[in-house]
Structure 1
Amino acid sequence: MHAWPASEVPALPGKGRDLRIHDTATGGRITLDPGPVARIYVCGITPYDATHMGHAATYNAFDLVQRVWLDTKRQVHYVQNVTDVDDPLLERAVRDGEDWTALAERETALFREDMTALRMLPPKHYIGAVEAIPGIVPLVERLRDAGAAYELEGDVYFSVEADPHFGEVSGLDAEAMRLLSAERGGDPERVGKKNPLDPMLWMAAREGEPSWDGGSLGAGRPGWHIECVAIALDHLGMGFDVQGGGSDLAFPHHEMGASHAQALTGEHPFARAYVHAGMVGLDGEKMSKSRGNLVFVSTLRREGVDPAAIRLALLSHHYRSDWEWTDQVLADAVARLGRWRAAVSRPDGPSADALVEEVREALADDLDAATALAAVDRWAECQRSEGGTDEGAPGLVSRTVDALLGVAL
């Protein structure tokens, strides 16, 4: 599966700072110090509807991670999956009387268009669950053969007891896990499981649903968590730098994925940092497909909203915060974009050397984009009110905003 085209990232003078970021597993900030190649895995979409602001906010956060790393002169090895077979996708296809593969392909294509418009840097490897199945089956067989998984009426479940580190990613107690498992795709009430929290690794073929050859597992399709584990281990290996996604993925998805990988390899941790973006709401509720309270990137683009303004709206909130999308949020972003473009359109201006370092420091401090935006606002206001004589300043501001914030002026 192919990703989307990359926009050029301008080179800035000097060198950026190492990223200090909040790690869900430890509950505090850690300084990431990757080697020459920084490794990141971000969980992708289940393509049964268009990209909404919640998606965009999440991918914007991890785009900033990439940009901070690139500014430190590192290479970035970024991997993202597409869950192109799963219950919600199949249910939507049945509801709409559409072939599930056509639905997945159409929505994945639209997601690529949205990511391109928002100038999100693409992953090096963009892998669908279906194409990963040949690599998933052997992992499930290994877990089963090692006693870390068991069969139940043809389905194969992972035993959470097989990983002594289970629970360390989310830090939740058993009751909280059980409630979230029921809410987020698990089946804690199924009779016969060794532990209510045990997640499915391989679902035996169901009538009327797609299935694949699972070797000794029989025909079926993979569970949600093992999909990402197989892709991450194949392309990044154990101990990669950042596992990323929305905060609703900390449990069960990232918790279970870590345990799968740790039980498979005997190594710990799966990822050095677990980083989670906050939820975006609309009308007092989390923006989600199940609720239908969505603002789509593609809809705003069709209405003529500049993608750069959409990106500025996302950047105006800290990536870990839960926040509400409103018309005013977008209006403020449109106005800010206009001020910035007017400021850099002049032939000279106030020196921007300090601004570059302010933006770098803000982003290195747990991706504090709002502080970075405020620094650019101050330069733009100084340009408006006082002007300056530095002929290189407007161009340097434009390159800084592009390179570190992903906004083209």
Structure 2
Amino acid sequence: MVKEDISLLREAFDSFNRAVDRLSSSYSELERKVAQLKEELARENAEKEKLRGYLESILNSIDLGVIAVNVEGRVIFFNRAAGEILGLDPQKAVGRSCSSVLGLDSPLEETLRNTRRRTFDDELINPEENGEPIKVEITTSPMWDEHGKVIGAVEVIKDISERKMLEEQIRRSETLSALGEMAAQVVHEIRNPLGAIQLYVGILQRELSGDQKKLADDIASGLRSIEIITSNLLALARPIKPSFREVDILALLEEVITFAIYAIEENGIKLIRDYPECGLICHVDPEQIKQVALNLILNAIQAMPEGGVLRISASKGDRIKLEFEDTGVGIPQEHLDKIFNPFFSTKSTGTGLGLYTVDKILRAHGASIRVKSQVGVGTCFLIEIPEVIKGEQR
């Protein structure tokens, strides 16, 4: 009996040992599979993180601003270009509410509400660009998960300032071309009878005396004014052809200042020169560039009837930059888009062709001019001239 019990106990112990071995083996297999799964999960996570970093790198390399928010309206992605366009720090934007970053009227908020895709043009204010509006094209679209549930929204911002500027230049060129052709025809029709009238008035001036001669003189003066106006009209149709030479821009500026210094001092204006010590050499038509500088200086003088400060700055980067900044009356915002149009003037005197001519000369040089102005504060004209003009005639 005891032997049988011992035998049963041994069998039970052996069975237990076999079960423990099987359990240990199963546990080892389970540990191996868990370790394998952990390794695969870590590898997948690393791949996902690598892909995420790769996608972020792509999105931060493009010139389109990209902003994404979750369904609660919290910013979850804000790329480099969006920061540059909006003048915001991407790191400070992420995690904040959409409305606190982009304003209460953010198109992303509307897209989250109505879940519809939108594309429209707008103007944004970038504080780093001195508060100047930037023309942009904005596209917003909801984001869905694999089940079709909205999980957020994305906004793509494209800076179209240059495109809009080119469109405006094309429109303006077409308008001016048509205006120039019409002006040439009008001048031709006016000058024929004008010449005969001037001839007869000249005879009257020689033959008349007293009050009658004074009337003839007044008529002659009026005819001279008409002649000047017709000459200015003809300038619209005449293309500007610069004669390029290698010159020192600073020397040209000094020539113009010498010519205008009496008017500057007579009007109680303080002149500040902000030049580099060395010269700024580029290829331009010196007489035409002097005409540009003189026009802008005279404009500044007229804008400061009670005196002020005129700062003329010159610097060189990839292009030569000239600035003419005054502390005058300023230009109303609604006039800024019109000041380079022919015959547009806010002054009671003048033909309204000064700034038009400035712009026309600079375009012929492959240069550009921009204006910033605030009423009661002053005006700044910024000119950018390439060092070498494509197709220049030397």
Q: TM-score range by the shorter chain?
A: under 0.3
Which structure: larger Rg? 2
Higher helix residue share: 2
**Which of the pair is proportionally richer in strand?**
2
| TM-score (norm. length: structure 1) | 0.21
- TM-score for the superposition, normalised by structure 2: 0.22
Greater relative CO, 1 or 2 (CA 8 Å, sep 6+): 1
